[in-house]
Structure 1
Amino acid sequence: MRRLHSLAGRAAAALGLALCVASAQAAMGLAELPGREGDGPVTVFYPSAGPEATVQRGPFSLQLAPDAPPSPGNGRLVAISHGSGGNPWVHADLARVLVQHGYVVAMPRHRGDNALDPSTPGPQSWRQRPGEVSRAIDAVLADPRFAALDARHVGLYGMSAGGHTALVFAGGRWSPGAFRRHCEANLEADFAFCVGLATRLHHDAWDGLREWVVRQVLRLKFRDEAWLGHEDPRVAAVVAGVPAAADFDMASLARPRVPLALVTARDDRWLVPRFHSTPVLAACLPRCEWLADIAGGHGALLSPPPPADRLGDIALDLLGDPLGFDRGAMHGIDEAIAGFFDRHLTRP
């Protein structure tokens, strides 16, 4: 009997190794699912044995297998919430690493805060993003091609505004009123978070007027003091990359609902760490994991990065890599993110 157990164990280990090898060699399939309840489309990447070809999406040339049949992976789904003005393609490198680990990866297009329609970023988008993620999970799980996925162990990665969404799924609560109060108190020091890409300070005689206009908008639009949150019991592990977080009740993140990890960027000038990632870490450690601190800026987690000629001056200043930044190191960060999900989604 002991010998039978030993043989069974070896067979299971061999099967697991074979699945890992198969996943590592898998092509990256691409599908687009219709969104639900008026949401934008859901882009899905997945392991496939289909042949890859060059696929052009905007300025990005990617090797993908569009609509190819899925291959068996690890049976788990990871959703990705993009940042303000984002799209699926700037997270294609992370998606590929996740696919090589066996995951199906789903990316909703957040309404009013994506590359095609950047009309309503900030708190208006943050209100609706968690529901969009949950409905994107619904859409993937309802597709017959992905029927074998485990609906009880879903991962979520979010970057920037998507990191804000990720913190909500980890149990955090925030409010538009907290956003207003933070920006009124720290407008000059955290200007990009409070204003986005609409304008910036020029350190000239007009800065006083710029700040006065911003304060009037803040007081008019962000008076709601209600704390906002969202629960989805299917999401079982969360990674927040350079998250927008200054409007959170940090006490709500002291005991994350699920395993939570953070990736930070020490030279982030869009979401200044001392207002965002640093208070989150102070609140949640040691009950969360500080997965990596990148020696780069806010745009380090965009991989492949958007071409510089597609960015305006403000975006280029906030997203561009600092001098000497090694983009080659980002593959290791992606592997660390996938490893975190492996530990919390695929192991007993």
Structure 2
Amino acid sequence: MKALNTKLFTLVVSFAIAGSSAYAAGFQHGFVSDSEGKPLEIGIWYPTKAEAQPIQIGPTTMSVAVNGPIQRTTHPLVIMSHGSGGSFLGHLDTAIELADAGFVVAAVTHKGDNYADQSRSVDIMDRPRQISRVTDHMLTNWDGHASIDSKRIGIFGFSAGGFTTLATIGGLPDFSKIAPMCQQYPGDFACQLLAKSDTSIASSGSTSLSDPRFKAAVIAAPALGFTFSPDGLKNIKVPVQLWRAENDLLVPHPRYAEAVRLALPDAPEYHVVPNAGHFDFLAPCSKALTSIAPAICTSAPGFNRIAFHRIFNAEVVGFFRKTLTAD
């Protein structure tokens, strides 16, 4: 386990400031056709030599080169899955850091479980299918697909996206564990979500949604972590970097990330972030977003989300560099 203490904080921040990126981040916004309903909205970040400029999407501002030409070398791919009620922009700073480091990143806005539409927020088992569909698009239909190395694909997931990631890399949840857990801990976010819903999660996760194209995974604050037993995670063979926030009230310790850590067949690279809350894994908010959604933008007194994300992003980039190596 890695706790992010002050010494590590100083070392990583110093490295991040001293280092230089090989590329800028190009950006495209688009949609992926889906045989099961509306198209999937995606954001794509990728390496480019074009000059980055500030752009605004709703209350979010980022510095990217819109439609800049991709560097025509071969790049690894990372697919991103956001948490319940989020969007493709939830981890934009991490996506930009990965693009600066030579990765192509595609982040999806999950249908029926996003900021504008939560009508299918309990249909969590459709999320891995959406991830695979986006991956298909990036490898075959995206105009820069020839610059992607199909043998070097990773996945990043936060909260419900963490569950999505586990299911995508081979995890089989046991949903029969939900009812007794929610009887004991009705205040957990997932239990409250289910209590408000007219539908329920399927009684079993026995059908595998594993996508063998993924070779490494970063998981932060995984939702429904307690539904994964050692038997349910025994088929996960890829390296995992696992994160939890020390003061996470939505997926509290030890029922979520810790349960996953103990159930994984191989020990993950494990990070615990002192004084952090659940939403501190999201990109630091703009003033405009903070005014609209203070609940996801406000950190505990003394916690610096901007400084933490310098560490977080460096660790994520380093992990994918190490695990998505060329053959």
TM-score range, shorter chain: 0.7 to 0.9
Aligned twin of 1:139: 137
Query: CA-to-partner distance for each residue in 1:95-147, whole Å, 9 max, x for gaps?
Result: 1111121000001110011122222213x1x1111011111111111223231
**3-state DSSP of counterpart to 2:115:** coil
Query: How far 1:54 sits from its partner (Å)?
Result: 1.7
Map 1:248-259 to 2 at 5 A.
248-254=228-234, 256-259=236-239
Aligned twin of 2:227: 247
Work out which of the two has the higher radius of gyration on C-alpha atoms and give 1 or 2. 1
Does structure 2 retain, via aligned residues, the 8 Å contact 1:169–1:238? Answer: no
Query: How far 1:79 sits from its partner (Å)?
Result: 0.5
Residues 286, 224 of structure 1: CA spacing in aligned structure 2 closer, same or farther, 3 A cutoff?
closer
Residues 28, 119 of structure 1: CA spacing in aligned structure 2 closer, same or farther, 3 A cutoff?
same
**3-state DSSP of counterpart to 1:34:** strand
Residues 338, 240 of structure 1: CA spacing in aligned structure 2 closer, same or farther, 3 A cutoff?
same
Q: Measure, in 2, the Cα distance between the counterparts of 1:260 and 1:52.
A: 32
**3-state DSSP of counterpart to 1:224:** coil
Does structure 1 retain, via aligned residues, the 8 Å contact 2:49–2:71? Answer: yes
- Tell me how many residue pairs correspond in the alignment: 301
Aligned twin of 2:303: 325
Query: CA-to-partner distance for each residue in 1:30-83, whole Å, 9 max, x for gaps?
Result: 112321214312211011122222211111111111111111465100001011
Query: How far 1:166 sits from its partner (Å)?
Result: 1.0
Indicate whether 1:341 and 2:320 are aligned.
yes
Indicate whether 1:221 and 2:200 are aligned.
yes
Q: Measure, in 2, the Cα distance between the counterparts of 1:323 and 1:128.
A: 37
Residues 157, 311 of structure 1: CA spacing in aligned structure 2 closer, same or farther, 3 A cutoff?
same
Query: CA-to-partner distance for each residue in 1:265-308, whole Å, 9 max, x for gaps?
Result: 11101111211011111222753221453530001110123633
Query: How far 1:179 sits from its partner (Å)?
Result: 2.6
Q: Alignment identity in percent?
A: 28
Q: Measure, in 1, the Cα distance between the counterparts of 2:85 and 2:23.
A: 30
Residues 344, 226 of structure 1: CA spacing in aligned structure 2 closer, same or farther, 3 A cutoff?
closer
Aligned twin of 1:171: 170
Map 1:1-348 to 2 at 5 A.
24-37=21-34, 38=37, 39-72=39-72, 75-122=75-122, 124=123, 126-142=124-140, 143-188=142-187, 190=188, 192-196=189-193, 214=195, 221-222=200-201, 224-244=203-223, 245-254=225-234, 256-284=236-264, 286-305=266-285, 307-311=289-293, 316=295, 320-327=298-305, 328-348=307-327
Q: Measure, in 2, the Cα distance between the counterparts of 1:311 and 1:297.
A: 15
Q: Measure, in 1, the Cα distance between the counterparts of 2:21 and 2:226.
A: 38
Does structure 2 retain, via aligned residues, the 8 Å contact 1:30–1:46? Answer: yes
Q: TM-score, normalised by structure 2?
A: 0.84
Instruction: State the AA in 2 paired with 1:321.
Output: S
**3-state DSSP of counterpart to 1:236:** strand
Q: Measure, in 2, the Cα distance between the counterparts of 1:152 and 1:67.
A: 25
Q: TM-score, normalised by structure 1?
A: 0.79
Residues 249, 23 of structure 1: CA spacing in aligned structure 2 closer, same or farther, 3 A cutoff?
same
Q: Measure, in 2, the Cα distance between the counterparts of 1:322 and 1:250.
A: 34
Q: Measure, in 2, the Cα distance between the counterparts of 1:223 and 1:340.
A: 34
Q: Measure, in 1, the Cα distance between the counterparts of 2:314 and 2:137.
A: 27
Q: Measure, in 2, the Cα distance between the counterparts of 1:258 and 1:340.
A: 12
Query: How far 1:246 sits from its partner (Å)?
Result: 2.3
Q: Measure, in 1, the Cα distance between the counterparts of 2:172 and 2:297.
A: 27
Residues 57, 277 of structure 1: CA spacing in aligned structure 2 closer, same or farther, 3 A cutoff?
same
Cα RMSD of the aligned pairs, angstroms, is: 2.5
**3-state DSSP of counterpart to 1:90:** coil
Q: Measure, in 2, the Cα distance between the counterparts of 1:319 and 1:275.
A: 24
Does structure 2 retain, via aligned residues, the 8 Å contact 1:101–1:338? Answer: yes
Does structure 2 retain, via aligned residues, the 8 Å contact 1:172–1:249? Answer: no
Query: How far 1:152 sits from its partner (Å)?
Result: 1.8
Query: How far 1:255 sits from its partner (Å)?
Result: 5.8
Instruction: State the AA in 2 paired with 1:252.
Output: G
Q: Measure, in 2, the Cα distance between the counterparts of 1:138 and 1:175.
A: 28
Unaligned runs of 5+ residues in structure 1 are 1-21, 199-213
Does structure 1 retain, via aligned residues, the 8 Å contact 2:22–2:102? Answer: no
Residues 336, 274 of structure 1: CA spacing in aligned structure 2 closer, same or farther, 3 A cutoff?
same
Query: CA-to-partner distance for each residue in 1:147-168, whole Å, 9 max, x for gaps?
Result: 1211122000000110011111
